Chain A
Amino acid sequence: GESVGLHLPTLSVQEGDNSIINCAYSNSASDYFIWYKQESGKGPQFIIDIRSNMDKRQGQRVTVLLNKTVKHLSLQIAATQPGDSAVYFCAESFSGGYNKLIFGAGTRLAVHP
């Protein structure tokens, strides 16, 4: 899900399918990662987080996978619903940096009935 210029990459899925949104993070020292969902004209909404001592974490219908070797994060959404349509951002932070969040470029998820 990396962005090029001003164009958000878009992932189009059918309702009921599983979605996988990817993110490459930049700082090998980052130790905390979060996925956010942002609907048009609204602030980011927390979905799920993971710390660097884990490689997988599951929530309700969502799973986050962390691969520190290649600095890659993914968000899996099971049984995608129309209400999941939004822009998804990953964010990284590290405890030595006052926990500032650095956001990735974002991916637009479009769910079609």
Chain B
Amino acid sequence: GAVVSQHPSWVICKSGTSVKIECRSLDFQATTMFWYRQFPKQSLMLMATSNEGSKATYEQGVEKDKFLINHASLTLSTLTVTSAHPEDSSFYICSARQGNSPNNEQFFGPGTRLTVL
């Protein structure tokens, strides 16, 4: 099946620094990638939808200037958490979809655990 990787798998940073998380589709080209955030014991919340070569679409309440998304190629999307604070500590998960058809499944990455001290 299709494989999606994330790097790093975990990161610890100081408050005020920026952190970049990569999401890669390893064996297929992803027209669309999605970024989710998951707090402990809670569900996945969609943060933004990223289409290759265009600006990301952010969900209501998600600050686009704080969570920068770049989908520069069909196999790579990055999420940069700028000026991270302890409340940004969370599990960040990406998913990738091959096309826009409703029949195309989203494949999820393994997640990145961000801890901001």
Contacts and interface: CB of A to CB of B under 8 A. Distances in A.
- Chain B binding site: helix, strand, loop or mixed by DSSP? strand
A6 B39 CA distance: 9
B109 A43 contact: yes
A42 B38 CA distance: 11
B105 A100 contact: no
Contacts of B6: 43
Given A32-B102, A44-B93, A95-B102, A103 B43 contact: yes
Interface in B40-98: 40-46, 49, 57, 91, 93, 95, 97
Interface string A36-48: 1000011111100
* Band of interface residues on B: 20 to 34
Contacts of A6: 40-42
A72 interface: no
Given A41-B113, A43-B108, A43-B111, A3 B43 contact: yes
Interface of A: 3, 6-8, 31-32, 36, 41-46, 49, 89, 93, 95, 98-106
